[in-house]
Amino acid sequence: MTTQRNGSAPVDGPIPHHVAIIMDGNGRWACDRDLPRHAGHREGMKAVRQAIEGAMETGVGILTLFAFSTENWQRPEEEIVALMRLLKLYAESEREELQEKGVEVRVLGDLARMDAETRASVEAIEEATQGGSRLRLNLMISYSGREEILRAVRLVAAEVARGSLDPEAVDARTLEKFLHTRGLPDPDLLIRTSGEFRLSNFMLWQLAYTEIHISPVLWPDFTRLDFFAAVRDYQRRERRFGRVTAG
């Protein structure tokens, strides 16, 4: 685990093209301050801005944030409502700035479970930011890795049943066309905050060869300096993709 923090963006070494983040620790951050859990999520929104800034300063092309899992629907109703409100607020208040900065936002997951108002605001931010070419920002909402793979398998099976796909021809590239992340390269770097060493059902297919950086920082305290530290840690890794020498 690396905690070395440095004020400037990392330039010496490979820059990860795609960075994914499991934003963890909002509840603990709030609990440490005797605040309700939703106060931690609200503060976490500032850290989202920091991560975006860090990614843009570093030259990362794709940033994927795990904002709400399929399992999170089992949290107390009031926390779910607070999180959906926050998402709506985020989509409405950041829309213009993200558009100006050239950030293309996509919201990926089972959006049918979202309330109509939140869904309308995420669709509006997607539409307004479409074509942004400096950074692609994926917000994973109502998302789980297993659900995503199951959905892809169902869609592949439907094509086979229709006779438009030969089962013998199904390979990794076929399945990838049915993932929410279709067309995107796999993450090079996964950051998880709050010192937890788990994948929590996140991008199970796409993380096969991703480098993992665990940050001890609770998500609301995460800044662009922590982002830079994670990238520096990544730059020290030798990526072999199962081979003997670096790929």
Q: Which residues would be at the binding site for ligand FPP (CB under 6 A)?
A: 23-28, 41, 44-45, 48, 65, 67, 72, 86-87, 90, 139, 219
| 32 belongs to the catalytic site | no
Residue closest to 148 by CA, chosen among 106, 110, 91: 110
CB of 46 to ligand FPP, least distance (A): 9
Catalytic residue of the set 12, 24, 34, 188: 24
Q: b or e along 153-187 (b: 16 or more beta carbons within 10 Å of the residue's beta carbon)?
A: eeebeebeeeeebeeeeeeeeebbebbbbeebebb
- Rounded Cα distance between 177 and 43, Å, is 36
Which residues of 15-69 form beta strands (DSSP E)?
18-22, 62-69
Owner of token pair 């439907």: 158
- Specify whether 221 is catalytic: no
Catalytic residue among 12, 26, 72, 221: 72
Closest CB 74 distance from ligand FPP, rounded Å: 12
| Rounded least distance, CB 206 to ligand FPP, Å | 19
Residue 108 or 152 with smaller CB distance to ligand FPP? 108
Closer residue to ligand FPP, CB minimum distance, 10 or 220: 220
Residue 65 beta carbon to ligand FPP: minimum distance, rounded to whole angstroms: 6
Residue nearest to ligand FPP (CB): 27
Packing angle between helix 37-58 and helix 224-235, nearest 10 degrees?
A: 50
Q: Return the active site residues.
A: 24, 72
